Structure 1
Amino acid sequence: MKRAKSRSTRCQNTRLIRCRVMEGDIPESLIALLIFEHLGPYSIFGRAAAFEREMKALRRAMLLALTLLSIGGCKDRSQVDENTPLRFWNGFSGPDGVTMEAIVESYNEKNPNSKFDMQIIPWNTYYDKVTLGMAFGGAPDVFIMQVSRLPQYADAGALEPIGEMFQKSGLKAEDFVETPYKSGFWKEVQYGLPLDCWPLTLYYNKKMFREAGIEKPPTNLQEFLDAAQKLTKRDANGKVTQWGFALAEVHNNLVAFMDQHGGNIIDEAGKRSTLNSPESLAAVRQVQSFIGKIAPEPQGANAWDNFKTGRAAMVMQGIYMIADLQGQKGLEFGAAPVPQFGPKKATWGGSHMLCIPKGLSPSRKEKAWNFIKYLSDNSLRWAGAGQCPVRVSVLNSPEFRKLEGQYQASRQLSYVQYEPQSPVIGQVAGFADAAWEAVLMNKEDPKTVFETASRRIDALLERR
């Protein structure tokens, strides 16, 4: 989650941007990115009580964008000295960073004439630095982009199309899992190559399951409810001492429920909100029915800690969190596909996309692509850090099947669903998150809350 910037930092950034605008240095293609990164999408679209204030902030941001549209051109990096070290940026600040560092070192040993320096930037400031690097110079040659961000940057003209390099390399679309691969395209142009997939996964406490006489993780709604009721324990005064389930992260859990009911936040065309559709309402009402019976109110990080410390028997989180559980002393856990709660099989997911910024020289672009292909070819090593590979050959390898948790999560890749592509999906998600919390924590009526949120989402989409 992106943290809001302090007032002093915002003022400093405003002065810097204003100066560069006056000098004609900020490219038109990155104006909107600078504005939204500067204000912070999640700080603009905060929680339920702040809808009107946040809409005013959005209008100010959009007005500022319109006044800056006389400046053009993406920062040209074609004249960068060929001896300047090649750079690879990512936000892997946890144990996954150690794994990626080892892969990069291996590449450098094999390619002494095109070594890459890897820089890890925490996710909460990552896109600020990427955007400013593109605008002012100093951008990396290859960088990781979370799939939901790709339309925003591609739409701004900040990314290099990679389709021709992909075809010349001998890779084919069928070498990859379909959904992650197609998500690297924006308006039928390929801008990113998926390194992995992180499907939402059911984690369960094996010891608690044994003690409750439950032999296997649930696969459907009835099995889930039966297990959660058996696993929810109360003391003599009726106070819950152990929950059957906990919402570790509201956003990805609720999107998964909506996907299974045929709903979503916005339609596939990215033109209007579907948050208030009957399907989406059915999904949130289903989750609402769990609260106080088999699950507590959403608690964010506390819910995850409750699972790690044995106060909740089941949670659903991305497969990327498996390393955190593996490091928890005394925790005996299992991983499984998310149960089918609605009419269709589906689970929330995403990918890390490998991207190249616009404007590299032909030589640096070629080296960047070779590096990207190496990371893709060696994605089995990356899977060990808590990811599912998306190269079909790696998925089918006996080596990958030895990674039990990742393998169980990968069983969902044929029906994993990514959030609809939109350059403003981050802002849209802020409205949805606020609505969900109003319903699940404040017990407000879903229909009323979702209709209000949908109107605001539609107003945002109409401004596109």
Structure 2
Amino acid sequence: EIGSRFIIDSQKMLPIQEYIDKTGFDTSVIEPNLLAYYTIDGVINSMPFNCSTPLMYYNKTAFDEAGITEIPTTVDGVLEIAEKLTTYDAEGKIDRAGFLFSNYGWFFEQWTGKMGREYVNSGNGRESYATKVMFDDNGAALDLFTMWKKIAESPYTYYIERGGTAQGRAAFVAGKTAIFLASTANLAGVLGNVGDAFEVGTAYFPYVNAQDKGGVSTGGGTLWLVNSGDEKKMDAAWEFITYMISPENQATWNASTGYFPINMLAHETQTFKENIAKYPQFQTALDQLHDSSPEYVGSLLSVFPEVRQYVEDVTEEVVLKGLAPEEAVEKLSNLANDAIEMYNLTNY
């Protein structure tokens, strides 16, 4: 999803809106919050496919053993119970951390949305192309870097990686952390890897502040139609897209991965019903998606991949080198704004 603005700017793709209009495809069957991300000025540019949001995964067996009955809804709440969930080996070293955290630029974006604040200007890059970040002026970055500092200072957490959550997932399934954050796309794999070792619980991605009222937005990917000029090939590509998002295919895709079944008719299939009945953890992701207002659909930014790297660079300085949150905000906003300005001067 972070490449959407750049792909649109390239003018190499044909908005699928043209085929939707030409074929009369019923878009009402597509999850509205997912479709909204790829809709700009009323035009649907691409078809959602491997779409996800972040979740909180937790070791329910460990929670039960620690007597924890309430699932935290904020990061502070997670830190409060981390001590009870931490276990030690015979030498007094941590065997299972209460909370493991990954430095992932996608989480920064999601938490900004959970706070109900904009990532960039120009209506989050949807009214026009973005010219600057907003997370400095609206306080989102300061709240986030302050949060990261607090997490890093806790003796019951540990920092494992940047740029993803693969190592966090491995630690979780091995029983080395009681809580970790990751995409819904990990769900089937986590459940399969854990097996009967312990019971896996899923919960909404936690808020930064208790008063936050925002929501999550889609991550993952989407299907684009290359504007090749060859009508037969484009017709065939559209046929393939509609095949990939058919109800049964989406039900199978969801059950096999954890990505959303973007076609809501998939909910009526036996495949979907049997999977939800066996693994109710899948319902958490759907509930979180539906509880998020489309107004928090997410931002569009031409240099998103580059800015995401800057987010991770600066976050790492806060976590590992003690960079003050205020200094981190200034450093990140300068790096991001310089990248945005350079792209805009070159392309607009």
Confirm or deny a common fold (TM above 0.5): yes
Residues 158-194 of structure 1: CA distance to partner in whole angstroms, max 9, x if unpaired?
1122212113433344322223212223565432111
Question: Would the aligned equivalents of 1:261 and 1:280 in 2 still touch at CA under 8 Å?
Answer: no
Residues 283-302 of structure 1: CA distance to partner in whole angstroms, max 9, x if unpaired?
22123212242311343444
1:382 is displaced (CA, Å) by: 1.2
- Does the residue aligned with 1:352 lie in a helix, a strand or coil? strand
Aligned to 1:426: 305
1:263 is displaced (CA, Å) by: 4.2
Q: Which aligned pairs between 1:162-173 and structure 2 lie closer than 5 A?
A: 162-173=16-27
Aligned to 1:276: 136
1:156 is displaced (CA, Å) by: 0.7
Give the alignment partner of residue 199 of structure 2, picking from 322, 328, 332: 332
- Does the residue aligned with 2:181 lie in a helix, a strand or coil? strand
Aligned to 1:361: 230
One-letter amino acid of the structure 1 residue matched with residue 35 of structure 2: Y
Question: Bigger CA drift: 341-350 or 434-443?
Answer: 341-350
Q: Which aligned pairs between 1:207-286 and structure 2 lie closer than 5 A?
A: 207-221=61-75, 223-234=77-88, 239-263=93-117, 265-267=119-121, 268-269=124-125, 270-277=130-137, 278-286=139-147
Aligned to 2:318: 439
The answer on 1:321 being equivalent to 2:186 is yes
- Does the residue aligned with 2:158 lie in a helix, a strand or coil? coil
**Residues 1:385 and 1:169: Cα distance change in structure 2 (over 3 Å):** farther
**Residues 1:439 and 1:396: Cα distance change in structure 2 (over 3 Å):** farther
Question: Would the aligned equivalents of 1:260 and 1:340 in 2 still touch at CA under 8 Å?
Answer: yes
**Residues 1:315 and 1:385: Cα distance change in structure 2 (over 3 Å):** same
Q: Which aligned pairs between 1:38-187 and structure 2 lie closer than 5 A?
A: 147-186=1-40
1:423 is displaced (CA, Å) by: 2.0
Aligned to 1:452: 331
Identity %: 20
Whole-angstrom CA distance in 2 between matches of 1:411 and 1:396: 17
Whole-angstrom CA distance in 1 between matches of 2:183 and 2:225: 26
**Residues 1:419 and 1:428: Cα distance change in structure 2 (over 3 Å):** farther
Aligned to 1:404: 280
1:222 is displaced (CA, Å) by: 5.7
- Does the residue aligned with 1:291 lie in a helix, a strand or coil? helix
Q: Which consecutive unaligned segments of at least 5 residues does structure 1 have? A: 1-146
Residues 175-219 of structure 1: CA distance to partner in whole angstroms, max 9, x if unpaired?
222232122235654321112421101111122111111235333
Length-normalised TM-score, structure 2: 0.81
Residues 223-250 of structure 1: CA distance to partner in whole angstroms, max 9, x if unpaired?
4344323212356876433211111343
Whole-angstrom CA distance in 2 between matches of 1:298 and 1:285: 19
Whole-angstrom CA distance in 2 between matches of 1:381 and 1:182: 23
Whole-angstrom CA distance in 1 between matches of 2:214 and 2:321: 30
Length-normalised TM-score, structure 1: 0.62
Q: Which consecutive unaligned segments of at least 5 residues does structure 2 have? A: none
Whole-angstrom CA distance in 2 between matches of 1:248 and 1:306: 11
Whole-angstrom CA distance in 2 between matches of 1:191 and 1:222: 39
One-letter amino acid of the structure 2 residue matched with residue 462 of structure 1: E
Question: Would the aligned equivalents of 1:148 and 1:421 in 2 still touch at CA under 8 Å?
Answer: yes
> What is the RMSD of the two structures over their aligned residues, measured on CA atoms?
2.6
Question: Would the aligned equivalents of 1:388 and 1:407 in 2 still touch at CA under 8 Å?
Answer: no
- Does the residue aligned with 2:99 lie in a helix, a strand or coil? coil
**Residues 1:445 and 1:396: Cα distance change in structure 2 (over 3 Å):** farther
Aligned to 1:289: 150
Larger radius of gyration: 1
Question: Would the aligned equivalents of 1:218 and 1:224 in 2 still touch at CA under 8 Å?
Answer: yes
Whole-angstrom CA distance in 2 between matches of 1:374 and 1:258: 35
Whole-angstrom CA distance in 2 between matches of 1:222 and 1:396: 38
Aligned to 1:44: none
Question: Bigger CA drift: 288-297 or 169-178?
Answer: 169-178
- Does the residue aligned with 1:394 lie in a helix, a strand or coil? helix
Whole-angstrom CA distance in 1 between matches of 2:322 and 2:90: 27
Whole-angstrom CA distance in 2 between matches of 1:150 and 1:316: 24
**Number of paired residues?**
318
Whole-angstrom CA distance in 1 between matches of 2:101 and 2:146: 14
